[in-house]
Structure formats: structure tokens, C-alpha cells
Amino acid sequence: MHPVLTLVVQRIALGLLLLFAVSAVIFLGVAALPGDTAQAILGQSATPQALANLRAEMGLDQPALTRYFNWLGGILTGDLGTSLSNRTDIATAIGQRLGNTLFLAAWAAVISVPLAILLGLVAARYNGRWPDKLISGVTLSTISLPEFVVGYLVLYFLAVKWQLFPSVAMVFPGMGIMERLNAVILPVIVLVLVVLAHMMRMTRAAILNVMQSAYIETAELKGLSPMRVIWRHAFPNAVAPVVNVVMLNLAYLVVGVVVVEVVFVYPGMGQYLVDHVAKRDLPVVQAVGLIFAAVYIGLNIMADVISILANPRLRHPK
């Protein structure tokens, strides 16, 4: 077997073990948190009697370990169980929310990743001159404003003042693709503004780092145009840091966009997790936690594999 393939198989196996560990850690963590599912659901005005009844019905009177193994048994047979707080089927609810989250993340990624890399290349090409400064200045300003500030400004100008797009990005099953796209435009704009700078800055830095190497000098002496040197010779050697930063931002787009979801009323995974952590609804928290963990682990594997494939010395180890 090719060494890269071996690595992938090995990492996936370890990844599954890691998921198991993550689920245990989340379970222990949330179970140890002060606060109580029944109280959280019934709110401030519940009586102790009602709380006790609800706890019994939700099976919270059983020991934590029993509940964990029951849950684990369910997962292994493909059953995510039902939510404690509203007794809905978790798989259905998550299916919808995850679809929404991936839809939003995919559009934001498709726009931001190529744009960031392109801007990074341009900034590196014109290092220290005005295009570089302009690109850096603009992207750094948008990244350094808190997400909700970018969100509010976009909301105010594009939805309220000029009324170009709907302020509420609510999507629901049965919606046409064009309607859906129209709904997510504002959150996509905000997400692109938020993730652009990191990837762009890293592309620029990584390329400037390899521009000093001897082989670049050779390429330049061959009389190739600067952009061609950067794209064909410098960029492939700058892939490792860039790809890691890209993966970090992709992970953020999937698991970390709760603020943007709240501002644009977008029904994604972030708010779903926050609501259920607040209610200490463990089966849901566990299920969402597993998905988020899988995203991180999967993206990290991808980043490592791409880094290896991009580097000839790593691709063909001696």
C-alpha cells in the first residue's frame, strides 16, 4: 500500500477512537455542570414536584454511567434517540439543521477560499506596495470587528436602508434553491468578510517565506513573469501553512457561526447546540458534539494529507 494511503487508514481508525473519547468527555463535562434539565425546561416557575416528575420521565433518575452506555448502545446501532426537552427525533432535527449549516458554509467557503488565496497571491506579488496595503487594510478591518458588528452593519445597510435582501434568512424545507440563495446572501457576505483575512494573510506570508529560496531565484532568472513564478513555483511550496489555516476556517464555518445564525435568524447547528446545552439536553448535545468533532478530525486529516501530497520530499520519503 502507498504510505499516504496507509496514513489515511491509520488516521481514520484513530479518528473513530477519538470520537469515542470526545463523546465520553462531553458526557462527563455536561453531566458535571451544575444545572438541571428539568429545571431548565420548566423554567423559573416550576414546583419541585413537577421537576421530580419530569426528571423521572426523562430517565434522569438513573445513574449517569447507565445513561451513557444506553446512549452509546443507541449510537452504535444508528439510533440518535429523542430529545429530552421536546421529545422530537434527534436524527430528523439534526438532518435539517446540518443541511442548512452545510449549505451556508459551502457557499461561504466557495467564495472566500479562492478569493482569499487570490488576494494573498496578489498581495505577495505587490509586497509592500499599495495593492498589498489596500488588501491587508480592508481584510484586517473586517476581521477585527466583532462578528455581530459586521452582521448588524450589513443588516442595516443591505436589508433595512436599501432593502436589497431579506433581513431574516429563514430557510425551511420545501424552499426553492433560488429563494434559499436569496435568503442566505447576507449571512454569506458576513462570513466571507469574517474569514477572508486569516487565509489571505497566511497565503501572503507563506509565499513571501519561500520567495527567498534558491529555486525561486532560478525561476526568476529563467525570465518567467512574477505572477507565474508565484503561482507555479512558490505557491506549491507554501501549501502546508495555507491549507492548515483554510481547514481551520472551514471548521469555523461549520461549527462556529452561532453569532451569525442569531443575527440573521438562520436555523443552523450553532443555535441548536446552544439551546440544548442551556437545557442540559444531553442526547442532543452528544449528537451535535460528535458531528462537530468529526468535522474537526476529518478536516485535520485532510489538511495533513494535502500537506504531504504537496511536498515531494514528504510524498516520497526516503
Selected from 80, 243, 257, 282, the binder of another protein by CB under 8 A is 243
117/245 with CB nearer another protein: 245
* 300 burial level (CB within 10 Å; 0-12, 13-18, 19+): middle
Q: Does 201 bind another protein (CB under 8 A)?
A: yes
Return the SS3 of 18.
Answer: helix
| 245 lies in the site for another protein, by CB under 8 A | yes
Give the residue with the Cβ less far from another protein, 92 or 225.
92
Place of cell 416550576: 46
The total number of residues written for the chain in this structure: 318
The 3-class secondary structure across 236-284, one letter per residue, is HHCHHHHHHHHHHHHHHHHHCCHHHHHHHCCCCHHHHHHHHHHCCCHHH
Under 8 Å between Cβ of 207 and 164: no
92 Cβ contact list (under 8 Å, min separation 6) = none
Residue from 72, 91, 98, 262 that binds another protein (CB under 8 A)?
A: 262
* Choices 61-69, 71-79, 193-201, 227-235; region in contact with another protein by CB under 8 A: 193-201
Applying CB under 8 A, among 244, 253, 254, 257 the residue interacting with another protein is 244
**In the complex, minimum distance from the CB of residue 163 to another protein, in angstroms, rounded to a whole number:** 6
Using CB under 8 A as the binding rule, the residues of this chain from 171 to 190 that contact another protein are: 172
Please name the residues in contact with 97: beta carbons below 8 A apart, sequence gap of 6 or more.
267, 268, 269, 272
CB closer to another protein out of 119 and 197: 197
Q: Does 287 bind another protein (CB under 8 A)?
A: no
Select the span of 64-72, 74-82, 228-236, 287-295 touching another protein (CB under 8 A). 287-295
Stretch of 61-69, 107-115, 226-234, 266-274 contacting another protein, by CB under 8 A? 266-274
In whole angstroms, give the CA distance from residue 274 to residue 97.
13
Query: Should residue 300 be labelled a site residue for another protein when binding is judged by CB under 8 A?
Result: yes
d(CA 231, CA 122): 10
How many angstroms separate the CA atoms of 145 and 262, rounded?
Answer: 17
92 binds another protein (CB under 8 A): no
Residue 87 φ then ψ, to 5°:
60, 25
- Residues 108 and 294: their CA atoms lie apart, in Å, by 20
CA gyration radius for the chain? Answer: 24
Cell reading at 101:
449549516
Which part of the chain contacts another protein (CB under 8 A), choosing from 66-74, 111-119, 146-154, 228-236? 146-154
273 makes contact with another protein (CB under 8 A): yes
| Site size for another protein (CB under 8 A) | 118
Site string for another protein, 206-235 (x = CB under 8 A): x-xx-xxxx--x------------------
Residues 63-82 that bind another protein (CB under 8 A): none
